[in-house]
Structure 1
């Protein structure tokens, strides 16, 4: 089984970290291929960058020329999953929805801890669109920019742990979701400090994607995610699809 894990930003070191986390979560025999869009922002922290990333991710997947069995969009609260589902028959899993749906098996309410406050509405909207908002206790911002997760890891951990603990104490969350693909490998530290289950969206998405492939399930093409109608596409990128 081969799963494409696509970073939504163009920072190669973050793609590498996401790929490592995905491979750790994968079952024996699953190959993880981590992709970086060839254009886009170095980090995604708002609507403009998110819409740009959606096109970049679709471009990266459609340019991959080897067989694959599933795709994971490794951006928390980002746009684009629906477009990929129109383009592909294989399962497409978004880490936002993967983390939240997994958390719902583990506790009554979950909270998401993300990066900057401006990302909170995007995540809230994605959860609402996916029908996962009813059991979301809160979406909290750590105040750390995405790239600071790499450049200031100790400060980032403290900020994330502080907000996770507040979510448990003040918002009555029973599970914490790490709200950024770049937070991979932080779950143990957050779990130790909060005492609750912690879900990393990348790892959750890998196990969900593997399950869908093993069950022989593919994206429905009856209506919502039917292939795009054939028509002329003018300009760059995705010309000719």
Structure 2
């Protein structure tokens, strides 16, 4: 089984970290192929950058020429998953939704700890769109930018744990979701320091993608995610998808 793992930003070191986290939980017969977009922002923290990332991710996937069985969009709260589902005939899993679905299996309510405060509304919107908002106790900002997550690992962990503990104590959350792909790999440490289940959207997405492939299931093409109708789109940067 081959899974394409697509970072939403252009920072290669973050792609490497996300891939390492994914490979740590992937089955022995699963190959993780990390992709970094060729254009876009070095971190995605607002609507403009998120919409740009959506196009960049679709571009990266449709330009990949090898076979693959599933795609993971590794951006928390980002746009674009729906477009990928229209373009592809394999399962597409977004780490935001993967984290929310898994958290719902582990406790009554969950909270998300993310990066900057301006990212909070984007994540809230994506959870609402996915029908995962009813059991979300809160989305909390750590105050750290995406790129700051890599600069000082000790400070990053301390800040995430602080917000996670507040979510459990003040918001009555029972499960914590790490709300950024750049937080991949921190789940065990946060779990040990908070005493509650902590879900990393990247690893959750890997196991969900593997399960969908094993079950022989993929996106319905009956209505909402039917392939785009053939038409001329002037200046469109993507090649014609080969898998449709």
Indicate the TM-score class for this superposition, using the shorter chain for normalisation: over 0.9
Relative to the length of structure 2, the TM-score reads 0.97
Task: Please give the per-residue CA displacement for 1:56-95, whole angstroms capped at 9, x wherever unaligned.
Answer: 0000000000000000000000000000000001000000
* Structure 2 residue runs without a partner (length 5+): none
- Indicate the SS of the match to 2:22: helix
Asked if structure 2 preserves the Cα contact closer than 8 Å seen for 1:233 and 1:239, the reply is no
Residue 110 of structure 1 corresponds to which residue in structure 2? Answer: 110
Q: Which whole-Å CA distance do the structure 1 matches of 2:105 and 2:218 have between them?
A: 23
Relative to the length of structure 1, the TM-score reads 0.99
Residue 194 of structure 1 corresponds to which residue in structure 2? Answer: 194
- Indicate the SS of the match to 1:182: helix
Q: Which whole-Å CA distance do the structure 2 matches of 1:73 and 1:221 have between them?
A: 19
- Indicate the SS of the match to 1:146: coil
Q: CA deviation at 1:240?
A: 4.3
Query: How many residues align structurally?
Result: 241
Asked if structure 1 preserves the Cα contact closer than 8 Å seen for 2:38 and 2:56, the reply is yes
Residue 87 of structure 1 corresponds to which residue in structure 2? Answer: 87
Q: CA deviation at 1:185?
A: 1.1
Residue 59 of structure 1 corresponds to which residue in structure 2? Answer: 59
Task: Please give the per-residue CA displacement for 1:144-197, whole angstroms capped at 9, x wherever unaligned.
Answer: 000001112211111111000000000000000000001011111211121000
Q: CA deviation at 1:233?
A: 1.5
Q: Which whole-Å CA distance do the structure 2 matches of 1:192 and 1:239 have between them?
A: 46
Root mean square deviation, CA, Å: 0.8
Asked if structure 2 preserves the Cα contact closer than 8 Å seen for 1:6 and 1:71, the reply is yes
Q: Which whole-Å CA distance do the structure 1 matches of 2:240 and 2:130 have between them?
A: 30
Residue 50 of structure 2 corresponds to which residue in structure 1? Answer: 50
Asked if structure 1 preserves the Cα contact closer than 8 Å seen for 2:63 and 2:239, the reply is no
Runs of 4 or more, structure 1, over 6 Å off, are none
